[in-house]
Structure 1
Amino acid sequence: MTDTPPDPSQPSGSTPPPYPGPTSPPPPPPYPGAYPTGGYPAAYPTGPGGAPMQRPPAPEQPPSMALAVKLMLIGAALSVVSLVYSFTTLDGLKDQVTDQLRENDPYVSQSVIDAAYGVSVGLAVVFGLLGAFLWVWMAWKNGQGRSWARVVATVFAGLNLLGLLFTVASSSTAEPLSLVLSVLSGILGVVVLVLLWRRESSEFFTAAEASRRLY
């Protein structure tokens, strides 16, 4: 019996690594529990013959959803218009703040009045920009078919109606245009809510969620 001559391509004193085949052990996960199915990450969905499946296209928005998204963008525009208009009525706002403070304390100092006026202006700016942002955000996420966004939009619509009731209750001190913009915003929220919960809109949300789960 003769010995098999060593392979000249292998370094002296070393053994060739095992051929990676079906019997090779899988690599360990980077941390315990990283891959629930074993040593390999979960595979992408595959179709016939093992070919990777492509992500299905997002479902097309039905007319009710397309209209709801447009109306939400209009709501954002109304918030910006209301904010811009509030800057033209700053003198009236300062008079209202002064009257309210002096009604509670006839000897209130001018520094307190100025501070309260500054806070009122800051709150008006913050709530105006926040309202516009929320309208745009809801238009974006509902347009993508996010079910949670429809629930959040429903909550916002309820808060919007409460704000409208408060504005109407204090209509004696509110500016006419501000009152009109508030009423339009409240009506817009109700119409958007009806559109979001229509049957074809619900089917769109269901199809969009299913499309995201497949990938």
Structure 2
Amino acid sequence: MSTPENNPNPSEKPDQQPGQSGQNGDVAPRYGQNSPYGQNTPQYGQNPPYGQSSPYGQNSPYGQNQPYGQQPYGQNTPSPYGYQNAQPGQYSYPSSQPQGGTGKPEAPKEVMIAFWLIIAAAVLTAINTILILTNLESELEAAFRDPALRDMLAQSEGEISQQELMDMTAGFAGISVVIAALIGIGLYLMVAFGVKAGKNWARITGTVFAALSLFFLIPFGLQTLVVLLGIAAIVLLFMPNSNSFFKAVAARKFGIYGR
């Protein structure tokens, strides 16, 4: 007779024989032990092997199974074209730049009439300058016939002759007239094209020049017509349609046109 082996832990059940199974089926591995061959349990956060479901009744990470071709809510895959997809709940703000349909404001009829009046004033200024230079010598000769001027020249004891003085005066006067004419014509052109473009500074500058030109008003002269043309142009530039045009140009310049 053989002596039975003593079991140091009576509470443990004897190992089952091959081919036998317990009432509860396969026994789960204990803590720290590996699963039987072919039944590797996936670690936390990993998907189970193909064809097997997650153990312990758990689904894929975070408790969501995403069908093929669908993305988790709130997550966007990068676009293959380099553009970032819009996030849910986000929207883009409208651009402050003018839209394609808002072009440059068109100058009204009053502004265009004022533009041509100022151009006409510049042309008349050039014509008046030519007339002054043409008649300059004859006017100087008439001035030197004045007895008072002759007496002054006689007291100079012949240091300078009348002809030399007249030539010097004609040269200085001619240069002064040409410089003044060029400045005046340049200012007229600057104001004319400025108001045509809707620049408010040009309208203000033209108003100042029109007021100053009143001091150079010569009755029944060509300069009188120049002054009147400038005043008429300034009046047209302050008409209601002109005011709206200048305001629209200023608003477009500061980026609020069309809002």
Scaled to the shorter chain, the TM-score interval is: 0.5 to 0.7
Select the structure that is richer in helix.
1
Distance in 2 (CA, whole Å) between partners of 1:127 and 1:115 is 18
Distance in 2 (CA, whole Å) between partners of 1:130 and 1:93 is 24
> Given the two structures, how large is their TM-score scaled by the length of structure 1?
0.64
Count of matched residue pairs: 157
Distance in 1 (CA, whole Å) between partners of 2:114 and 2:248 is 18
Amino acid at match of 2:247: T
1:180 to partner: Cα distance: 2.7
Amino acid at match of 1:125: V
Amino acid at match of 1:121: G
- Match of 2:185? 132
- 1:192 and 2:238 matched: no
1:187 to partner: Cα distance: 1.1
Summarize the Cα distance change of 1:47–1:160 in structure 2 as closer, same or farther, 3 Å threshold: farther
> Given the two structures, how large is their TM-score scaled by the length of structure 2?
0.54
- 1:79 and 2:125 matched: yes
- 1:183 and 2:224 matched: yes
- 1:208 and 2:254 matched: no
Q: Provide the aligned C-alpha RMSD in A.
A: 2.6
Does 1 or 2 have the higher relative contact order (CA < 8 Å, sep 6+)? 1
Structure 1's consecutive aligned runs of 4 or more residues displaced over 4 angstroms after TM superposition are: 50-56
Distance in 2 (CA, whole Å) between partners of 1:104 and 1:191 is 47
Q: Which segments of 5 or more consecutive residues in structure 2 lack a partner in the other structure?
A: 1-91
After superposition, residues 1-215 of structure 1 pair within 5 angstroms as 48=94, 53=98, 56-99=102-145, 102=149, 105-107=152-154, 109-110=160-161, 111-164=164-217, 167-168=218-219, 179-214=220-255
Distance in 1 (CA, whole Å) between partners of 2:183 and 2:248 is 30
Q: Which segments of 5 or more consecutive residues in structure 1 lack a partner in the other structure?
A: 1-45, 169-178
- Match of 2:56? none
The 8 Å contact of residues 71 and 188 in structure 1, kept in 2 or not, is answered as yes
